[in-house]
Amino acid sequence: MKKIGSLLMGSLRMILI
């Protein structure tokens, strides 16, 4: 669960930035 959340956050950050 934690890993999935981290991956999702990273993906969103990459798309945002």
| 3-class SS letters over the chain | CHHHHHHHHHHHHHHHC
Say what the pLDDT of residue 8 is.
Answer: 92
pTM above 0.85, yes or no: no
Distance separating alpha carbons of residues 8 and 1, to the nearest angstrom: 11
Say what the pLDDT of residue 2 is.
Answer: 86
pLDDT per position as a tens digit, 1-17: 689 989 999 999 998 87
Say what the pLDDT of residue 16 is.
Answer: 83
CA 10 to chain CA centroid, Å, is 3
